Amino acid sequence: MAGKLTRREVIAVGAGAVAAGLAGSVAARDAVATVERWGLHEVELTGEPTGNPFDVNLSAVFTDGRTTLEVPGFFDGANDGQGTWRIRFSPPGTGAWRWTSRSDLPVLNGRSGVVEAVAPGAGNHGPVGVVETFHFAHADGTPFRQLGTTSYGWTHQPEARRRETLETLKASPFNKIRMLVFPNASVKTNDDLAPFVRTGPGDKDWDFTRFNPAFFQRLDACVAALCEMGVEADVILFHPYDGRFGFDEMPADVDARYVRYVVARLSPYRNVWWSLANEFDVVKAKTADDFDRLGRLVQARDPHDRLRSIHNWRALFDNGRPWVTHASLQNGSAVIDDARAVLYRDVWKKPVVFDEVRYEGDIAERWGNLTGLEMVRAFWEGLVAGTYVGHSETFDNPDDDYWLGAGGSLRGQSAPRLAFFKAVMEAGPTPGFEPIDKWWERHVGGKAGQVYLRYFGEAAPDGWTVDIPRDGLTGGERFTVDVIDTWNMTVERLPGVMTLSQGATKYTWHDPERPVVALPSRPWMAVRLAREHA
Amino acid sequence: MAGKLTRREVIAVGAGAVAAGLAGSVAARDAVATVERWGLHEVELTGEPTGNPFDVNLSAVFTDGRTTLEVPGFFDGANDGQGTWRIRFSPPGTGAWRWTSRSDLPVLNGRSGVVEAVAPGAGNHGPVGVVETFHFAHADGTPFRQLGTTSYGWTHQPEARRRETLETLKASPFNKIRMLVFPNASVKTNDDLAPFVRTGPGDKDWDFTRFNPAFFQRLDACVAALCEMGVEADVILFHPYDGRFGFDEMPADVDARYVRYVVARLSPYRNVWWSLANEFDVVKAKTADDFDRLGRLVQARDPHDRLRSIHNWRALFDNGRPWVTHASLQNGSAVIDDARAVLYRDVWKKPVVFDEVRYEGDIAERWGNLTGLEMVRAFWEGLVAGTYVGHSETFDNPDDDYWLGAGGSLRGQSAPRLAFFKAVMEAGPTPGFEPIDKWWERHVGGKAGQVYLRYFGEAAPDGWTVDIPRDGLTGGERFTVDVIDTWNMTVERLPGVMTLSQGATKYTWHDPERPVVALPSRPWMAVRLAREHA
């Protein structure tokens, strides 16, 4: 879907070549490299390391003459005494981008080249950003209507399981997945690949000054695979599910080194979002101020300016902090009722993503035993409130390796209904649904004067006495009427149109010829009015 | 109730006396003045004004040797060529407070004196501040459980009506009233007293450089009368209900001059709270940043550090700003359901006061037609959510002079029920009710392990299957059980006690011998469990 993601430019020169002043001629030596706009261009530099190669400072300044970006590099392992460093760049615009490297290791300093960014291929819509305060869109303007899922540890599973997870995602409606960088100590199926070099047999015997490139190369590949499928990777940098490894209580300088390393590796993938933490307020060794500092570090080190958020348990983070691009909330209560969900929207004037609303499943923990009906309801309530929601599954099994922890396959009833939901969402207004007449028990989202979606949840009325809020209406507007069964996934277009005029009070409008839409006395129904354009 | 509020120290000296070096001897001339701690001590200075007396800079530095406060003065009118300036100080602690004046008018400069602050009298509990993040208490530790009402324009009414309003308040449960400084142009009963000196016959013919002392003297008296009744005055500095006078669109320097003047006059009254605006987002001539600047000005100019907030219409202010002491919200939807109201609590980590939740009344506007039942419900839902709520009334009459606009008498059904509500609130935990197991549909507030209040709203169950969240319980705790009818104002103590132990899941506890509390299938019921202490 996304075309070829990466164009790798290999510049392998020894120390002697640098001494001979070959830097600067490298680009001229080859035909000019090309990469899609928003693709990933990788400069590979090799040389003999001195000292700890992870301590080498390396970056490259890329410029197209208008925009100049300093792009960090990173060490990616050594072979036969030759180290490999990489600088990954995702061009924000088309045209020629010239680069020059900066390093305190002479062999890596002063290199230069040029890469030509060409028009994006099919499926490459660019990175996702915030639009119209509360919504998302790709850089080319394509709406991004978030429909997320979570699988914390899918990247830490054996290869066959990872392939299964990707196949599941490909067949699913989900367009974003939350995933941990560090392993979740409680997932039994994890393999042994670790982010740091081991110094002994103990669970916490790590050399925190040396990363394990193989661990991160696998993570790269997982992110790239998601990118090629058009799935956003919400990469969780810290988490509290660490009874063993100590990655939740590293010293501050190690945290910062780790953040710089991951940002240098992953930010050039256009599908990356940064999640500073899962349940930040459960991470005992860090305060909200620590996460604020780390959030600012991500922002400062990421020339690609990917989306940034932080996920809570019981305490809300101050999502008003400037580095936070959207609210990533855990709250299963808020999405039971659109009139709850809508309350958070005004607070930070940023998009609200309910990234955790409890999970469809049957485990004893109360956060993991939603019915499929309840899981699906959360999305509809969130939609008419102008917010976005996330899914996951926790169906009990002897190994605790359900989708939430380890990926694999989906077993629940919600995923197909969420595909139907997604189709209704995508047929809605651009860039997204707005709550209509918030705070007045309307339970209507859409776009005033254009489209209205009234969701009835578990109520099972035999009809809806139409009460469309007046904003955006002047009288005489004509609307088609669809009756939607959100669980049985049907849309019934009623005959004729509804012509709106003021109703019994000045606040709500209706069609006096058709004041009621008949409904089948079943729960989980919705009605959609869509403006008929002549 | 509050004893004698004010001790006035009059220091009337002419310019000649200053030239003779009498400043400094004034205090020695008289016996030492005394005032209650948290009372109001007023220094009156007279002299011959030069130029605009409102432009004179005047303050006094008060110190008890540990705390030093610079207290602003203000011009309060002239008589026979002699101007009167006042400096009002409310001592935060007992003991001797020495003061020295500073002024750019020589006659007012370098005066000094001493006032002895003595123990507060009965009913004087000191100003209200924030305690335990989400609650309020007086400075002496007495809880302040906010039960507010609003009467925007009561101070602008003729004297008989003002007296009626004060009598109504005295007989009511309300302990805070929101009130405008500037008149509300839409209230027909307003008299003609105006805050600025008129320059012509037009509604907007004001000399913004000269206040009208008589207007503010009346405001002083209104605030003082509330103080003596133990009612907090939530003084609204700006509002948008100004179709005539232009006080909502004054130049920035006039706004600042006005804020300084009102703060100097009123902040020494211990019952003053500052509300920067009513419906700040309806004030067309000001942005949120303008109000932020004015909020910081209030904070900077108020040595008594009274509570500060700002009230919204549809857009929320950033109540995380440091000068904001508590969230003052308009939202009638949030208090229909405690699970909504609770969502705002975590956002700013400050007390949440729903100062406007629609009004009990019968006008055509939908914000003014709550039934008494709905008005009362808002308080109970807010209580179990750990928040505070405000009341008002809008019963239609030919002059539109209902309680909300002009004070007078109350006609609704809610006020007596709110007196009953207040008694239940006051019998609850100190400093206030906390939501218990928020986000899990418990609808219980109180204090974990000590007291639980379960509110059923409009549901009319025939019984409550007890499901008390586990926090604070270890097993065997004994509780008395009260069945409360919040509308009919009855409390029925059930025989025996309830002894709690773990229930069917680990999350909720109950008494296996008494798993259900029978209820009368009526709405508006509550059940209270209170820990029995041997």
Residue B50 — very low, low, confident or very high, per pLDDT cuts 50/70/90? confident
Strand blocks (E) in B395-507 = 434-435, 444-447, 451-455, 463-465, 468-469, 478-485, 490-493, 498-499, 501-502
Please indicate, yes or no, whether residues B159 and B276 belong to a single structural domain of this protein. yes
What's residue A508's pLDDT?
94
Please indicate, yes or no, whether residues B475 and B400 belong to a single structural domain of this protein. no
Residue to substitute from B333, B362, B507, interface A, most A β-carbons within 10 A: B333
CB neighbour burial string for A87-99, b if at least 16 within 10 angstroms, e if fewer? bbbbbbeeeebbb
Mean pLDDT of A21-42: 66
Mean pLDDT of B12-24: 30
Please indicate, yes or no, whether residues B256 and B387 belong to a single structural domain of this protein. yes
Residue to substitute from A333, A336, A358, A507, interface B, most B β-carbons within 10 A: A333
Q: What is the CATH number of the domain that holds A55?
A: 2.60.40.10
Per-residue model confidence as pLDDT tens digits over B271-288: 999 999 999 999 999 999
A357 within 8 A of A369, measured Cβ to Cβ: no
Out of A314, A347, A441, name the one closest to residue B333 (CB). Answer: A441
Mean pLDDT, rounded, of chain B:
93
Q: Is residue A129 part of a domain?
A: no
Out of B340, B346, B364, name the one closest to residue A340 (CB). Answer: B340
pLDDT at B244 over 60: yes
Q: What is the CATH number of the domain that holds A443?
A: 2.60.40.3950
Q: Pick the closest to residue B268 from B15, B40, B515, B3 (CA basis).
A: B40
What are residue B108's phi and psi, to 5 degrees? Answer: -100, -5
Question: What is the C-alpha separation between B49 and B72, in angstroms, rounded?
Answer: 18
User: How many of the other CB atoms lie within 10 Å of CB of B380?
Assistant: 26
What's residue A9's pLDDT?
57
Structure token digits, residue A271? 């599908």
Please indicate, yes or no, whether residues B380 and B314 belong to a single structural domain of this protein. yes
Per-residue model confidence as pLDDT tens digits over B502-533: 988 899 999 999 999 999 999 999 999 999 97
Give me the interface pTM, i.e. the ipTM: 0.92
Please report where in the chains the tokens 């009118």 appear, as a residue. Answer: B77
Q: Is residue A396 part of a domain?
A: yes
A68 within 8 A of A85, measured Cβ to Cβ: no
To the nearest whole percent, how much of chain A has pLDDT over 70?
94
Residue B499 — very low, low, confident or very high, per pLDDT cuts 50/70/90? very high
With residue A197 as reference, give the H or E element that holds it: strand A196-198
Out of A320, A334, A344, name the one closest to residue B320 (CB). Answer: A320
Question: What is the C-alpha separation between B489 and B416, in angstroms, rounded?
Answer: 9
Mean pLDDT of A336-346: 97
Structure token digits, residue A474? 């002047």
Please indicate, yes or no, whether residues A99 and A167 belong to a single structural domain of this protein. no
Q: Is residue A324 part of a domain?
A: yes
Specify the pairing of strand B176-180 against strand B232-238: parallel
pLDDT at A12 over 60: no
Instruction: Give CA separation, A253 vs A195, A246, A260, in Å.
Output: 16, 15, 11
| B426 compared with A6, residue with greater pLDDT | B426
Please indicate, yes or no, whether residues B104 and B183 belong to a single structural domain of this protein. no
> B527 to chain A, minimum CA–CA distance in Å?
23
What's residue A21's pLDDT?
25
Of B61, B86, B118, the domain-final residue: B118
Question: What is the C-alpha separation between A370 and A381, in angstroms, rounded?
Answer: 15
Of A426, A445, A464, the domain-final residue: A426
Q: Pick the closest to residue B154 from B218, B95, B66, B105 (CA basis).
A: B218
Specify the pairing of strand B95-103 against strand B58-63: antiparallel
What's residue A401's pLDDT?
83
Judged by CB atoms closer than 8 Å, whether chains meet at A333 and B438 is answered as yes
Mean pLDDT of A102-116: 97
Out of A320, A333, A344, name the one closest to residue B441 (CB). Answer: A333
Q: Is residue B78 part of a domain?
A: yes
> B449 to chain A, minimum CA–CA distance in Å?
20
What's residue B44's pLDDT?
97
Per-residue model confidence as pLDDT tens digits over A268-284: 999 999 999 999 999 99
B356 within 8 A of B324, measured Cβ to Cβ: no
What's residue A20's pLDDT?
27
Specify the pairing of strand B82-89 against strand B40-47: antiparallel
User: How many of the other CB atoms lie within 10 Å of CB of B38?
Assistant: 27
Q: What is the dihedral of CA B149, B155, B158, B164, to 10 degrees?
A: 30
To the nearest whole percent, how much of chain B has pLDDT over 90?
90
Per-residue model confidence as pLDDT tens digits over A53-75: 999 999 999 999 999 999 999 99
Structure token digits, residue B344? 């705002």
User: What amino acid is encoded at A381 in this protein?
Assistant: E
Mean pLDDT of A301-328: 98
What's residue A201's pLDDT?
93
Mean pLDDT of A453-461: 97
pLDDT at B19 over 70: no
Residue B52 — very low, low, confident or very high, per pLDDT cuts 50/70/90? very high
Q: Side-chain half-sphere of A228: how many Cα atoms within 13 Å?
A: 11
User: Which residues span the domain enclosing B407?
Assistant: 141-426
To the nearest whole percent, how much of chain A has pLDDT over 90?
90
Q: What is the dihedral of CA B204, B206, B211, B214, to 10 degrees?
A: -70
What are residue A97's phi and psi, to 5 degrees? Answer: -115, 115
Q: Is residue B36 part of a domain?
A: yes
Q: Is residue B130 part of a domain?
A: no
Please indicate, yes or no, whether residues B378 and B270 belong to a single structural domain of this protein. yes
Q: Is residue B372 part of a domain?
A: yes
Residue A7 — very low, low, confident or very high, per pLDDT cuts 50/70/90? low
What's residue B270's pLDDT?
98
Please indicate, yes or no, whether residues B401 and B497 belong to a single structural domain of this protein. no
Judged by CB atoms closer than 8 Å, whether chains meet at A507 and B441 is answered as no
Please report where in the chains the tokens 């920067």 appear, as a residue. Answer: B276
> B314 to chain A, minimum CA–CA distance in Å?
9
Q: Which residue on chain B is closest to A347 by alpha carbon?
A: B316
Q: Is residue B59 part of a domain?
A: yes
pLDDT at A161 over 90: yes
DSSP structure class, residue B384 = H
Please indicate, yes or no, whether residues B345 and B464 belong to a single structural domain of this protein. no
Out of B318, B334, B347, name the one closest to residue A316 (CB). Answer: B347
Mean pLDDT of B403-417: 97
Three-state DSSP at A346 gives helix
Question: What is the C-alpha separation between B35 and B119, in angstroms, rounded?
Answer: 9
Q: What is the CATH number of the domain that holds B283?
A: 3.20.20.80
What are residue B289's phi and psi, to 5 degrees? Answer: -65, -35
Q: Pick the closest to residue A442 from A375, A372, A503, A518 (CA basis).
A: A503
- Residue B520 CA, distance from chain mean position: 37
Instruction: Give CA separation, B127 vs B38, B97, B264, in Å.
Output: 7, 19, 16
Judged by CB atoms closer than 8 Å, whether chains meet at B337 and A332 is answered as no
What's residue A398's pLDDT?
74
Instruction: Look at the alpha carbons of B52, B54, B55, B56 in this order and tell me if their dihedral is positive or negative.
Output: positive
The count of domains in chain A is: 3
Question: What is the C-alpha separation between B491 and B485, in angstroms, rounded?
Answer: 7
Residue B332 — very low, low, confident or very high, per pLDDT cuts 50/70/90? very high
Judged by CB atoms closer than 8 Å, whether chains meet at B333 and A439 is answered as yes
Please indicate, yes or no, whether residues A414 and A471 belong to a single structural domain of this protein. no
Mean pLDDT of A438-461: 97
DSSP structure class, residue B311 = B
Set of chain B residues whose Cβ sits within 8 Å of the Cβ of A334:
343, 439
User: How many of the other CB atoms lie within 10 Å of CB of A126?
Assistant: 19
Set of chain A residues whose Cβ sits within 8 Å of the Cβ of B505:
364, 366
Per-residue model confidence as pLDDT tens digits over A365-415: 999 999 999 999 999 999 999 999 999 999 988 776 899 999 999 999 999
pLDDT at B82 over 60: yes
Mean pLDDT of B321-343: 98
Of B56, B85, B118, the domain-final residue: B118
Please indicate, yes or no, whether residues B218 and B345 belong to a single structural domain of this protein. yes
Residue A380: which residues within 8 A CB-CB, separation 6 or more? A421, A455, A457, A486, A524, A526
B150 within 8 A of B357, measured Cβ to Cβ: no
Three-state DSSP at A280 gives helix
Question: What is the C-alpha separation between A199 and A435, in angstroms, rounded?
Answer: 55
What's residue B186's pLDDT?
85
pLDDT at B27 over 60: no
Judged by CB atoms closer than 8 Å, whether chains meet at B505 and A332 is answered as no
> A440 to chain B, minimum CA–CA distance in Å?
6
Mean pLDDT, rounded, of chain A:
93
A410 within 8 A of A403, measured Cβ to Cβ: yes
Please indicate, yes or no, whether residues B442 and B296 belong to a single structural domain of this protein. no
